Structure 1
Amino acid sequence: MDWSAWHDEYDDPGSELSQRLKVVQTQLRIALEDCAAGPLRIVSLCAGQGRDVLEVLADHPRRGDVHARLVELDAEIADGAASAARALGLDQVEVRAGDAALIDQYVGMVPADIVLACGIFGNISDEDIQGTIAALPQLCRSGAPVIWTRHRDDPDLVPQICSWFESRDFERRYLSEPAAGFGVGVHRYTGTPEPLVPGTHLFTFGRYES
């Protein structure tokens, strides 16, 4: 997969990815508004160009409260995200080039107030989706929303993903309509944060759809 070319669809306002991005950004704005006053932490797994976070923080009233870590495996894409963050004056946003599936990437940033897991669940096995959801309590503070995405092609796994979240002390806060053609979900963690287990590997990308 040429991931740089894949990101080009975001520049087409009519593309499904562009429409999905708008929904993710709206849910992130809502999550920021719901957070208590004071410093807060965001982690974004497989962050790509960082558009989910950077384009929201650029003009958000709480941008100064946020310390974010965006993790992206592709070094060229990560470098572009870092440059975009600097251009926006978002010095408190750290872009890390590395494997987002390694939980050690989030040391010092968890439990986080907001977690983004976008563009992942369509590229990994069902077993890895379950395993990732099971590990998310290591990343989330109590009350933290997880914003996630998954395509709705047959077989539509979105309802099952919701069930996996809800069996792990996450409550559903938002789910896009099936007619949108893509799935964006928000699940809020209601449990107690779990200790981060060094060495945990969450998922492996495969030949799936985003």
Structure 2
Amino acid sequence: MDWQTWHDRYDTRDSPLARRLLTVQERIRLALDDCPPGPLRVVSLCAGQGRDLLGVLPGHPRRLDVRARLVELDPKNVDLAAAAARSAGLHEVEAVAADAALLDHYDGMAPADIVLICGVFGNIADPDIERTVDASTQLCKTGGRVIWTRHRKDPDRVPLICKWFEERGFDREWVTDGDQLQAVGVHRFGSRPMPLQLGTRMFSFVGYDKLRSAT
């Protein structure tokens, strides 16, 4: 898979992915608006070109308060994200070429005010989704938010993902309506974060096509 070319799908006007991106950006904007004064931390898993955060932060009043780490395995997309951050003057946004599934890559940034898990849950198996939700209790600070996505194709795992978050001390703040193919959810953490367990792998990235063909 050429993951740089894959991102071109976001440029197709009114496509499900383009609509999802706009929704995620709006939820990031609202989360930033509601964050307390002072420095903020954001982490993004499988960040791609960073279009979700970098589509919001340059024009947001909290832009200089945010320190962010975008973790992405594909080096071409990392370079694009890093270049976009530099051109916007976002010197506290770093794009890291690394395996986003390893908790080690969030050391020094967790627990964060905003955790982005976008484009992940549709590409990993159910046990790994739950494992990643569980790891969110290490990545997210008390009062922080996880913004996540998942398609609603059969089997629709959105209700189960919500259940897993809520069993772990997250409150459901917002989820797209059921008629939206690409769901976006926001869960806010009401408990104390757990210590970051270095050396832990949250998931193995399988890919949407392989998962669909296996069912």
Instruction: Report the equivalent of 2:127.
Output: 127
How do 1:100-179 and structure 2 match up within 5 A? Answer: 100-179=100-179
Instruction: Report the equivalent of 1:8.
Output: 8
What are the Cα deviations for residues 147-172 of structure 1, in whole angstroms up to 9, with x where unaligned?
A: 00000101111011101111110110
TM-score by length of 1: 0.98
Instruction: Report the equivalent of 1:52.
Output: 52
Distance 1:70 1:135 in 2: 17
Distance 1:97 1:43 in 2: 14
Instruction: Report the equivalent of 1:201.
Output: 201
Distance 2:143 2:13 in 1: 33
Aligned length: 210
- SS of residue paired to 1:101: coil
Instruction: Report the equivalent of 2:26.
Output: 26
Runs of at least 5 residues in structure 2 that lack an aligned partner in the other structure: none
TM-score by length of 2: 0.95
Q: Percent identity?
A: 58
- SS of residue paired to 1:96: strand
Instruction: Report the equivalent of 1:62.
Output: 62
What are the Cα deviations for residues 35-54 of structure 1, in whole angstroms up to 9, with x where unaligned?
A: 00111100001000001101
Instruction: Report the equivalent of 1:17.
Output: 17
- SS of residue paired to 1:166: helix
Aligned-pair CA distance for 1:178: 1.7
Aligned-pair CA distance for 1:193: 0.9
- SS of residue paired to 1:144: strand
Letter of the aligned partner of 2:168 in structure 1?
A: R
What are the Cα deviations for residues 66-120 of structure 1, in whole angstroms up to 9, with x where unaligned?
A: 0000000001110111011111111110110100000000011111011000000
Distance 2:171 2:16 in 1: 26
Distance 1:82 1:2 in 2: 19
Instruction: Report the equivalent of 1:95.
Output: 95
Aligned-pair CA distance for 1:208: 2.1
Instruction: Report the equivalent of 1:71.
Output: 71
- SS of residue paired to 2:140: coil
Distance 1:40 1:125 in 2: 31
Distance 1:109 1:21 in 2: 24
Aligned-pair CA distance for 1:34: 0.8
Aligned-pair CA distance for 1:2: 2.2
Aligned-pair CA distance for 1:55: 1.1
Distance 1:75 1:207 in 2: 18
Runs of at least 5 residues in structure 1 that lack an aligned partner in the other structure: none
- SS of residue paired to 1:179: coil
Letter of the aligned partner of 1:204 in structure 2?
A: S
Distance 1:118 1:184 in 2: 8
Q: CA RMSD in A?
A: 1.1
